[in-house]
Structures are given as C-alpha cells and as structure tokens.
C-alpha cells in the first residue's frame, strides 16, 4: 500500500530555509514519531495529526541509572550463583573454605550495591517530591 501511495508523488517542491528555521523544523520532527522529515512536513502542510513524544528528563536519568544498577546487580548475582554451584560440587575441605570466603565477599558487595540502589531511589523520590 505504501508503494502505491508513493508512486503518485512525482512533484518536488524546493524550499530554502534559514539555519534557524531548519533547526526549528528539525527539532519538531525529531520530537515526533515520523520516520522521515518529508513525512513530518507533509503532515504539517496538510493539517494531519502529528504524534509527538514528550520526554521527562528526570525519568530518563532515573531509567539510565537504574539500568546501570540492574546490570551490576545481575553480574553480582551471577557471581553468587557460581559460588553456590561450586560449593555444591566441592569435595575437598581447603577448596571449600576458599569458596566460603569468596561467597562472603560477594555477599558484602551485593549488600553494598543494594544500599546504593536504595539511596539512589530515595534521592530520586526526594527530587520528584520537591517538584
């Protein structure tokens, strides 16, 4: 269907803009859901609805930080799982002690990361409540 719609578009309109005008149109296009600038301009010219994305910077920052923390927690969780798996397969006591020490270290790291996450969430909550 899209190809049939585009096949009738054989006319080109040349339009010169100042850098400021172009920047303004470009910003509005980037904030929309239109994939092509020409689609955005065409919708605007013919008064068709344009869907715009509005971003919340504090939410974006929160999501970005949460992704980093999630990845760190995932890595720590994998380490803990490896330690537990290894502990189940151990048969020699000295090796077992080594893995217990490693487990305790990973547990401490996990606890610290969880505290970091709680503190970060509290900061974000405080910031949002002030707004």
CB 80 within 8 A of CB 33: no
**1 has a pLDDT exceeding 50:** no
DSSP state letters, 94-118: HHHHHHHHHHHHHHHHHHHHHHHHH
pLDDT in tens, 66-107: 888 888 888 888 888 887 787 777 766 777 778 888 888 888
Predicted pLDDT at 5: 58
pTM for the model stands at 0.41
pLDDT in tens, 19-77: 999 999 898 888 888 888 998 899 988 888 887 766 666 776 777 888 888 888 888 88
Predicted pLDDT at 16: 92
* 131 band by pLDDT with thresholds 50, 70 and 90: low
Burial 54-76 (b: 16+ CB within 10 A, else e): eeeeeeeebeeeeeebeeeeeeb
Predicted pLDDT at 92: 65
């Amino acid at each position: 269907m899209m190809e049939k719609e585009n096949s009738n578009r054989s006319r080109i309109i040349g339009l010169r803009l100042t850098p400021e005008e172009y920047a303004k149109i470009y910003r509005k296009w980037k904030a929309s859901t239109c994939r092509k600038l020409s689609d955005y301009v065409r919708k605007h010219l013919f008064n068709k609805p344009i869907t715009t994305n509005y971003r919340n910077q504090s939410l974006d920052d929160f999501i970005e930080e949460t992704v980093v923390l999630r990845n760190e927690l995932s890595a720590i969780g994998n380490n803990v799982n490896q330690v537990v798996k290894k502990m189940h397969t151990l048969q020699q006591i000295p090796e077992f002690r080594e893995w217990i020490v490693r487990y305790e270290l990973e547990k401490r790291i996990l606890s610290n990361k969880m505290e970091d996450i709680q503190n970060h969430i509290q900061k974000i909550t405080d910031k949002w409540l002030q707004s």
